[in-house]
Structure 1
Amino acid sequence: MSRKLLPILMSMVVLSPLAIDIYLPSMPEMAAEFSVSDTQIQSTLVLFILSMGIGQILIGPLADRFGRKPIALFGISLYILSSLLAVYVSDFQFLQLARVLQGIAACATSIVVFSAVRDSFSNQQSAQYYSYLNGVICVIPALAPTLGGLLALQFGWRSTFMFMMAYAIMVLVVVAFKLPETRPTNTITNGPLYRWSRYQPVLANSHFVFYALTCMFAMAAILTYVSYAPSWVIKHLGVSEMTFSTLFGINALINIAACFTAPKVIKKLGNRSTVVLALWLIVDSAIAQVVTQILPSSSGLLSAIYFMTPMLLLCIGFALLLGPATSMALSGFGERAGTATAMLGCMQMSGAALLTGLVQLTDLSAPYANVLMLGGGAITLLLTMAIPRLGHWHHERLEVA
C-alpha cells in the first residue's frame, strides 16, 4: 500500500503550505490595494492557521465516523470554492472570510493525510513518513513565493489564488479515483460526535499534551518568521519581491534537505533525542538572530541576509522536530487516530496562531519577535525535559496498536 498511498498523500499535503506561501511576496501590494496595515494583512495568515486548527476538532471526529476519503473530498472541494472567492473579493473582510474557509478546507485534508499515515504504518515508520511528508511541505516555500511573485507581476496577486484553485481541482480528481480508505476496522465510530468523552482520553494523556505543545511551538516559530518576513524585508529594508523570494527559497531548500535527512537521523537517534537536538538548533537560531542584528550593515540586501540567515537553523530544527514529535503525540491512539490527530492539529495550529497574534500586538521588530518566539519556546521545552519527575511526559513509550 505504501508505494501507492504516499504519492497521493504528498499531493494532498501540498494544499496547506501552498495557501500560506504563494502569496507572501504580494502581501505589501495587497495591503496597499485594500488600504490596510501590515498587521491586518498578516492576519490573513493568522486567520488561516487559526481556522485550520479550530476546524480540526470539528472535522477530526467526522474522519473517524465517515472515513478518510469522504472528508478528503469535502475539504478539497471547499478549498476550491474558497480560493475562487478570494479571486473576486473587493472588500478586505471578505478576503479574511475566504482565508477562514480555506483554513477549514486545509485542515480537512491535513487530518486525512496524517490519520492515513497513522492508520497504515508503525510508530517508527510513521515518524519517517511524517518527515517525508514534511519534506514535501517544505518544497513549497522554496518554489511557491517565486511562482507567486511571477504570477503577481504578470497578472496581479489574485492570480495566486486562481493557481491554488487549479491545483486543488487536479488533486480532487486524483483523490476521487485513487485514494483508498485507510480507516482501521477498530476505529470508534458510535456515539455522539462531539461528546467530551471522545476528547478526554486524549487530553488526559500527558505524553500527548507535551508533544502537542512541542508541535505548537514549532508551528508558532515558523508562523512568526513567515508572517513578519515579507513586510520587514520588502517594505522596511527595501528589497525587491523577487529578491525576497530568492532568500526565502534558499531557507526552504535547506529545510527540504533537512526533511529528507530527518528519517535517517530519527532512525539513528530515536524520536526523543531527535526532538532534543531540534530544540537546541532553534535556540541557536535565536542566538544567531541577536548576533546578526548587532553586526553593521551597509545596505538593505545585507540587512535582509542578516535577518534570513539565522532562520536556516530554525528551518533545520523544524524539519527534524515535527516528524518525531507528531509520532510521539499520536503513538497511543491507534483506535481513535482521527480524533487524536484533530486535537493535535487544533493545539498546534490554533495555539501557534494565538501566540503569533500576541507577538504581533507588541512593538517588537521582526528580528526580535523571532528571538522571543524561538528562544522562549525552545528553552521552556528543554527545561521541562530536564526535570526528572516529568520524564513520563516525554520519554518514548511502547507502541499501542
Structure 2
Amino acid sequence: MFRYLLCSFALVLLYPTAIDLYLVGLPQIAQDLGASESQLHLAFSIYLAGMAATMLFAGRFADAVGRKPVAIVGATIFIIASALCGAADSTQTFLIARFAQGIGAGSCYVVAFAILRDTLDDQRRAKVLSMLNGITCIIPVIAPVIGHLIMLKFPWQSLFTTMTGIGILVCILSIFILKETKPDKDAEQQTDSNKNLNIANTAKPEMFLERYFISRLIITAMGVTTILTYVNVSPMLIMGTMGFDRGEYSSVMALTALVSMTSSFLAPLALSWLKQSTLMLISQCVLMAAALVLVVSYFGVDNHSLYLVGFGLTCSGFAIGFGVAMNQALSPFSLRAGVASSLLGIAQVCSSGLYIWLMGLLGVSPLNMLLIILLLGSLISLTLILLLGSPLHSGPNEKIVSTA
C-alpha cells in the first residue's frame, strides 16, 4: 500500500511545483528572453491550458491501457518540457515548452487520483486525500520561497533544472515502484455475478451527469480557484498593500504553508469523530470567516495582523475540506475512475484560469479578487453540501458511506 501512496503523492506534486517554483524568476526570464513580464504571465494560463487539453484523454487512456503507462509517459513529457524551458532562448519557445509541461503534469495528476480510487476504500481514501492535500497545498505557498533561495546563487535556468530533476524522480518511481492498479472489468463483473448484494450495483452505470458528482466537481473547482487566487495575488497584497519586503513575503508564505499542512493532517483525525459532510461544512465556514476578517482589516481596522489571520484562514479552510470533497466526487466510480479524475482536474484548472483571467481583464483589485471568490465559493459550496449531502447511488463493488 505504501508504494501506491508514495507514487500518488509524487505524481500530484508535478502540477503545483511547475506553477509556482519559477514565479520569482519572472523578471530575469523576461530580461533574458526580451519579453515583458505581462507576456510571461501568459505562461501560467498556457500551462493550465496544456493540463486541461490533455486531462480527459489521459483519463480515458488510464482507464483503457492502465495507470502506469500514462504516468511514465506523462513524467517523461514533463522532463523534456522542463529542460526545454531552461534552454529556451525566445518567448515563443518558452511558452511552447510550458504548454508541454502542462501536458505532462496533467497526465500525472489524473493518474494519481485514479490510483487512490483503485486501492483505497471510501473512509481511508478520505483520510489519505486530506493528507495528500496537506502535501500538495503547501507547494503553492512554499515553492516561491524555495525559488527565491535557489536564485540567490544560481540563474533562473536552475529553476527548471530543479523541475527536470523532480520529473526524473517521479519517472523512476513510476517505472520501478508503481504497480498497475487498473481494475479488470471482466473479472469484477464475474465476481459480482456470485455476490447477490452487488448484482444491483453492477447493473447501474457509472454516470457523470448526476447532481451529486456535479456538486462535488463545483465544490473542488471553487476550492482550487480560491487557493490559486490567493497564491497569485499574495505578492501584490503582502509586498504591495502591506509593504513587506521579499524576505518578509517569503516568511509569510512559509507561515501559511505551515497552517495548510497542519490543517490537512488534522483533517484525517477529525474524520474519526465527524462525518465527511460536517467537515466540509466547517471548511466552508472557515473560508467565509477568512473573507469577513479581510473585509474588516481593509474597511475597518487597517491591521497587518488581521490580514495574516485572513490569509491563514483561507489556507486552512481549503486544506480542511478539499480532500474530503475529492473523495466524495470519486466514490461512485470504480471502472471509470480515470475519466472522473480527468473531469475534476479539468474543472479545477479551467475555473481557476478563467476566474483569474477575467478578474484581471476587468481590472479588479487583488484584495477584491480574493474576497469575491472567498464569498462566492463558500456560499455556493455550503448550499450544495446542504442540498446534496450523499450520493444517489454507489458504483460497482462498493457501498458508499453516507455522509449526510
TM tier, shorter chain?
0.7 to 0.9
Number of residue-to-residue matches in the alignment: 379
Write the mapping of 1:87-166 to structure 2, written as runs, cut at 5 A: 87-141=86-140, 143-166=142-165
Equivalent residue number for residue 288 of structure 2:
283
- Structure 2: which 5+ residue stretches go unaligned? 188-204, 399-404
Matched, 1:224 2:229: yes
Equivalent residue number for residue 18 of structure 1:
17
Report the secondary structure of 2:153's partner residue.
helix
Distance 2:292 2:186 in 1: 45
Cα deviation, residue 34, structure 1: 5.3
Equivalent residue number for residue 197 of structure 1:
none
Deviates more, 1:333-342 or 1:2-11: 2-11
**Equivalent of residue 395 in structure 1, options 369, 390, 393:** 390
Cα deviation, residue 230, structure 1: 2.6
Distance 1:185 1:86 in 2: 39
State the AA in 1 paired with 2:125: S
Cα deviation, residue 234, structure 1: 4.0
Cα deviation, residue 209, structure 1: 0.5
Distance 2:52 2:186 in 1: 22
Cα deviation, residue 265, structure 1: 1.8
Distance 1:275 1:385 in 2: 8
Classify 1:254/1:14 alpha carbon distance in 2 versus 1 (closer, same or farther; 3 Å): same
Classify 1:77/1:84 alpha carbon distance in 2 versus 1 (closer, same or farther; 3 Å): same
State the AA in 2 paired with 1:278: S
Matched, 1:45 2:44: yes
- Structure 1: which 5+ residue stretches go unaligned? 189-199
Q: TM-score scaled to structure 1, two decimals? A: 0.87
Distance 2:266 2:249 in 1: 26
Classify 1:36/1:222 alpha carbon distance in 2 versus 1 (closer, same or farther; 3 Å): farther
Report the secondary structure of 1:334's partner residue.
coil
Distance 2:26 2:292 in 1: 28
State the AA in 2 paired with 1:343: L
Equivalent residue number for residue 357 of structure 1:
357
Cα deviation, residue 345, structure 1: 1.2
Cα deviation, residue 97, structure 1: 2.2
Q: What's the CA shift string for 1:229-274, capped at 9, x where partnerless?
A: 2344446665433322221111011000011111122332222111
Cα deviation, residue 81, structure 1: 0.9
Distance 2:327 2:293 in 1: 29
Q: What's the CA shift string for 1:155-176, capped at 9, x where partnerless?
A: 1222111101012112212221
Alpha-carbon contact 1:50-1:354 (below 8 Å) kept: no
Alpha-carbon contact 1:281-1:317 (below 8 Å) kept: yes
Distance 1:38 1:187 in 2: 53
Cα deviation, residue 63, structure 1: 0.4
Q: TM-score scaled to structure 2, two decimals? A: 0.86
Alpha-carbon contact 1:272-1:396 (below 8 Å) kept: no
Equivalent residue number for residue 84 of structure 1:
83
Cα deviation, residue 84, structure 1: 0.9
Distance 2:336 2:208 in 1: 13
Deviates more, 1:10-19 or 1:213-222: 10-19
Alpha-carbon contact 1:9-1:113 (below 8 Å) kept: yes
| Structure 1 vs Structure 2 CA RMSD | 2.4
State the AA in 1 paired with 2:390: H
Report the secondary structure of 1:179's partner residue.
coil
Cα deviation, residue 217, structure 1: 0.4
Alpha-carbon contact 1:28-1:230 (below 8 Å) kept: no
State the AA in 2 paired with 1:204: L
Q: What's the CA shift string for 1:62-96, capped at 9, x where partnerless?
A: 00111000000001001111111111223333322
Equivalent residue number for residue 319 of structure 2:
319
Deviates more, 1:320-329 or 1:236-245: 236-245
Classify 1:111/1:360 alpha carbon distance in 2 versus 1 (closer, same or farther; 3 Å): same
Cα deviation, residue 283, structure 1: 0.9
Classify 1:55/1:33 alpha carbon distance in 2 versus 1 (closer, same or farther; 3 Å): same
Q: What's the CA shift string for 1:197-228, capped at 9, x where partnerless?
A: xxx95431111101001000001111111112
State the AA in 2 paired with 1:321: G
Classify 1:230/1:99 alpha carbon distance in 2 versus 1 (closer, same or farther; 3 Å): farther
State the AA in 2 paired with 1:271: Q
State the AA in 2 paired with 1:247: V
